[in-house]
Copies of this chain bind each other. A is one copy, B any other.
Amino acid sequence: MAGKEQRDIEAGPPPPVEPALGVGMVGYAFMGAAHSQGWRTVGRVFDLPLRPVLAAIGGRDAAAVRAAADRHGWAAAETDWRALIARDDVQVVDICTPGDSHAEIAVAALEAGKHVLCEKPLANSVAEAEAMVAAAEAAAARGQVAMVGFNYRRLPAIAYARRLIADGRLGALRHVRITYLQDWLVDPDFPLTWRLEREHAGSGALGDLGAHAVDLAQYLTGEQLVGVSALTETFVRERPLLAGASTGLSASGATGRGQVTVDDAALFTGRLASGALASFEATRMAAGRKNALRLEINGERGSLAFDLERLNELSFHDHTEPAVSAGFRRILVTEPDHPYLEAWWPPGHALGYEHTFVHQARDLVRAIAAGTTAPAPSFADGLQVQRVLAAVEESAEKNAVYTPVPV
């Protein structure tokens, strides 16, 4: 940097600027914070054809949503999601609310001509999801994009795993096994939040964790689950009520405890279209496991393994090598040729959880600019996951009997 030059280079002609893409986000809790980070960062890292603008954030509590707007960098705040959808400066509606409001907001946004990104699971029921798919299809005909937020697809290790499988490096698939283990419900005195109430959350570990597992199984293999057999369990059936909890019951009541109406854990097995066997476990009762989304896929030519707690790594075994020198190799998925890595740091410099939201924003922006009206994962993909979850619940109710997933 030469001390000789004195010119303020701001005086030069302005560089070409990409057209703006206004985003309006509904919800500002955990997912809202993560999506905000994604929207704020994506244009700073990736070359994009459109420039995302954090136009407005929406939520019911005026003070809280105003604080969230300031904290996360949104230009405006709205207390009515309909008003947010109606804004002229909003072209994309990003839905980060609990599952029971997804369908209403998404359908309204699509009908209002907006692109939509909707958090997973797509909906709390197959019927809602079907309505959303119908709205998305109608909107696609008008050039709108609708995407569901299965963010783990955007992990470089997962995207690279998909590439290896699509390239045939695993050959014919035999096994998929995925466990998603957390432990925040081990403590029986953890309170009764909305995530433990069926009317808000739809289901428990199944919809929250199992939905990711099912989506990853289908995304990675490129195949659909055709049937499942399931057991579910709620180990702790009553929990302390939250003060001001959504059930509306008084915390000063005789027991001060309320019913848990969703599953703590769900185990299911199934078959993929090719005949491969799949095994799933989703639980919030695995002491010591914080976010252990672990998967392994075995094929005739190789195997893959992944653990979300070590998300920069992918294990790959190439079964076509001589047995004497073969073994699971730990690929640090931080090379420039790995998915999403062209724009980040040098090899060996770890990415984190929130980068999935940056990558999701990148993919959505590019899809919008390219006119790709059914970007993966589409609402139809979200509906398919919902059908699997519904089949799981049906099987669990019917004594684990093998239950086909409707096509």
Contact = CB atoms under 8 A, between A and B. Distances in A.
Interface stretch (A122-130, A303-311, A360-368): A303-311
A401 B279 CA distance: 16
A12 interface: yes
A76 interface: yes
Contacts of A144: none
Contact of A330 (B12, B327, B353): B327
B267 A277 contact: yes
A193 interface: no
B329 A329 contact: yes
Contact of A298 (B72, B79, B285, B325): B285
Interface string A345-360: 1111111111100000
Contact of A1 (B27, B285, B399): B27
Interface of A: 1-10, 12, 15, 26-27, 30, 34, 36-37, 40-41, 44, 58-60, 62-63, 65-67, 70-73, 76-83, 97, 101, 160, 164, 174-175, 177, 179, 181-184, 186, 188, 229-231, 233, 235, 265, 267-271, 275, 277, 279, 281, 283, 285-292, 296, 298-303, 308-312, 316-317, 319, 322-332, 334-335, 337-338, 345-355, 395, 399-402
The list of the 7 closest CB pairs from A to B, nearest first, reads: A290-B348, A291-B348, A288-B317, A352-B352, A329-B329, A229-B400, A327-B329
